[in-house]
A and B are shown apart, each in its own frame.
Chain A
Amino acid sequence: MGIYRKTVAPDSETASHAILVENLHKTFRLQHRKSASIKYAILNFYRKNPVEKREALKGVSFRVEHGETVALVGKNGSGKSTLLSLMAHVYKPTSGIIQLNGKIATLLELGAGFHPDLTGVENVELYGAILGLTIKEIHQKFDSIVKFAFDTPDLAEKIDTPLRNYSEGMKMRLGFSLAVHTDPDILLIDEVLAVGDEAFQQKCYRKIEEFQNEGKTIVFVAHYAHIIRQVASRVIWMHNGLIRMDGPLEPTLEAYLKASDDPNYHSKNS
């Protein structure tokens, strides 16, 4: 969704990679609030709630070449979404290097910028601007955006009515359509590939294949093995803020699936 460019001098060693991550650390502060009562708040006004530091990423390094499609896998809380958010420039790293060369589009959550009282057209203009398109580009691509999102004319007709009349599925389709129309070099996707009905999903896969054929770089987070097998060429397995395994699709995915079948895997903190 957000687009920014990081340019690296062409003679620099790093420019040949689409993504360069080196010894990346990210620490969050968590606050434990014992009670939300007014009495507690007044009596403990001067006392600070204890703040715990939680390391979401504990030193992650990898490189992604141009044109690669990488799936990030791992159980909940393993750090894959944090990693994707860092690539999207939503967070600043605590330490380490993260470099992306090219125009980035992130599909982290579809429709986060939508406003229910504005019409579909007005939302496309606003959301397109959040994604980094100019108003001119939005108007040029407008028909194509609507056509990709809604294939039947009765859905497309609703584009000039307020967005609160749309179903959740329609909003998501519009969001996905906008994001793929930003023409990125690097596409970051967070667990949103399961959007819409079967027909729309097939359309999304075709669009991703199109991106792959154009040599674009894709990094995505997914939980379903069939999605990963259909799209990815490489898998990075995250575990407790570290990379446990990084390699070609089948062996890495197999190892991960085997481990996640093990009941001990989810409780063990190793």
Chain B
Amino acid sequence: MSKELAELWRFRGLLWQLVRRDLKVRYKNSRLGFLWSIAPPLMQVAVITFAFRHATNFAAKFPSYSAFVLVAMIPWTYFQTAVQDSCQSILMMYTVIKKVYLPREIIPLSSTISNFIHFLLSWLVFVLYWYVFRRGPILWTVLWFPYLVIVQFMLVTGVGLFVACLNVFYEDIKYIVTIVMSLLLFVLPIMYVPEQVVYTSHIGGRYHPIFIWFYMNNPITALITGFRKTLLQPPSPAAVGGPSLPLNVGSLLFAGLISFGILIASYAYFNKRKWEFIERP
């Protein structure tokens, strides 16, 4: 793998050019440019807040419900768009890699990196939101922020490399990814908080504790919960049906370990198959 990394470093100029191209091309012909990447999550937050405030009674008891949705929606949007973009990326550059030598991992990497830049900029929206609505003091746990951002980058890049590679051989993957993403939006605690699942669900019967462990400690839930608990005041027990769970440091460290593992394993798999890309039967 060190040989591959050295090769990647040698092509860093090209990687940067591809990231620049992604950033430029996306809104090339639009007037509002970057606003188009923050408008959809903002509108989603507004609509979800409206619907949940009126349809459920927990959101009504939740004074800063929209902040909780926004803080989950920003990392979720990054995960979703970056994985979907890198899934398609290699087939979009197919004519180029058929003619020219370049380390193939550069292509999905440029997708996850350009989306990462959008992800970082999206946090400015949260800062603005914070400033306008004054949702309490800034917590010292904000120091976790860089760690969480890096862990998420590793997770997204790992998953992105894997689906990008697989999609070259089985184009069903892009449909599967789209479906899974639309389901995860509801399964994961994005529109609600995980305490509600912990306190009220009985899924799995006897195996309920195991289910809850996986639900809480999978890297995406861990990251979303991590962002919420480090940036926002805990919700009131009345809103979530029990005492708010404390920030779980073990779960965050575990998410870091798992994400790193996924990245290494996907990169190894990608390297094993990258020479078959243009020779697929």
A126 at the interface (CB under 8 A from B): yes
Are the CB atoms of B96 and A112 closer together than 8 Å?
yes
- Chain B residue at minimal CB-CB distance from A53: B281
CB distance from A116 to the nearest CB of B (A): 9
> Which residues of B sit under 8 angstroms from A90, Cβ to Cβ?
97-101, 278
Tell me whether A109 and B101 are in contact in the complex, defined as CB-CB below 8 angstroms, given that A28-B279, A91-B278, A129-B17 are known contacts. Answer: no
> Which residues of A sit under 8 angstroms from B100, Cβ to Cβ?
1-2, 88, 90, 106, 108, 112-113, 130-131
Interface of A (DSSP majority class): loop
Are the CB atoms of A112 and B21 closer together than 8 Å?
no
- The number of residues on chain B lying at the interface, defined by a beta carbon within 8 Å of a beta carbon of chain A, is 23
Interface of B (DSSP majority class): helix
- Chain A residue at minimal CB-CB distance from B275: A92
Are the CB atoms of A129 and B14 closer together than 8 Å?
yes
Are the CB atoms of A118 and B24 closer together than 8 Å?
yes
Distance A132 CA – B281 CA, assembled complex (angstroms)? 29
- Chain B residue at minimal CB-CB distance from A129: B17
B117 at the interface (CB under 8 A from A): no
> Which residues of B sit under 8 angstroms from A118, Cβ to Cβ?
21, 24-25, 28
Are the CB atoms of A30 and B24 closer together than 8 Å?
no
CB-contact partner of B17 in A3, A31, A91, A125, under 8 A: A125
Please provide the chain A residues from 63 to 87 with a CB less than 8 Å away from any CB of chain B in the complex: 85
Please provide the chain B residues from 56 to 109 with a CB less than 8 Å away from any CB of chain A in the complex: 95-102
Distance A129 CA – B20 CA, assembled complex (angstroms)? 12
- Chain B residue at minimal CB-CB distance from A89: B101
Are the CB atoms of B98 and A126 closer together than 8 Å?
no
> Which residues of A sit under 8 angstroms from B18, Cβ to Cβ?
126, 129
> Which residues of A sit under 8 angstroms from B99, Cβ to Cβ?
1-2, 85, 88, 90, 106, 108-109, 112
B246 at the interface (CB under 8 A from A): no
Please provide the chain B residues from 1 to 39 with a CB less than 8 Å away from any CB of chain A in the complex: 13-14, 16-18, 20-21, 24-25, 28-29
Are the CB atoms of B101 and A115 closer together than 8 Å?
no
A246 at the interface (CB under 8 A from B): no
CB distance from B72 to the nearest CB of A (A): 33
Are the CB atoms of B13 and A51 closer together than 8 Å?
no
Are the CB atoms of B279 and A29 closer together than 8 Å?
yes
Tell me whether A51 and B281 are in contact in the complex, defined as CB-CB below 8 angstroms, given that A2-B101, A89-B101, A115-B25 are known contacts. Answer: yes
> Which residues of B sit under 8 angstroms from A129, Cβ to Cβ?
13-14, 16-18
Tell me whether A91 and B13 are in contact in the complex, defined as CB-CB below 8 angstroms, given that A1-B99, A112-B99, A118-B21 are known contacts. Answer: no
> Which residues of B sit under 8 angstroms from A122, Cβ to Cβ?
21, 24
A117 at the interface (CB under 8 A from B): yes
Are the CB atoms of B13 and A135 closer together than 8 Å?
yes
A4 at the interface (CB under 8 A from B): yes
Distance A85 CA – B275 CA, assembled complex (angstroms)? 13
The 5 closest A-B pairs by CB, nearest first: A2-B101, A31-B281, A129-B17, A2-B100, A89-B101
The interface of chain A, by Cβ under 8 A from chain B, is 1-4, 28-31, 49, 51, 85, 88-92, 106, 108-109, 112-113, 115, 117-118, 122, 125-126, 129-132, 134-135, 162
5 sampled A-B residue pairs with Cβ under 8 A: A2-B100, A51-B281, A106-B99, A108-B100, A118-B28
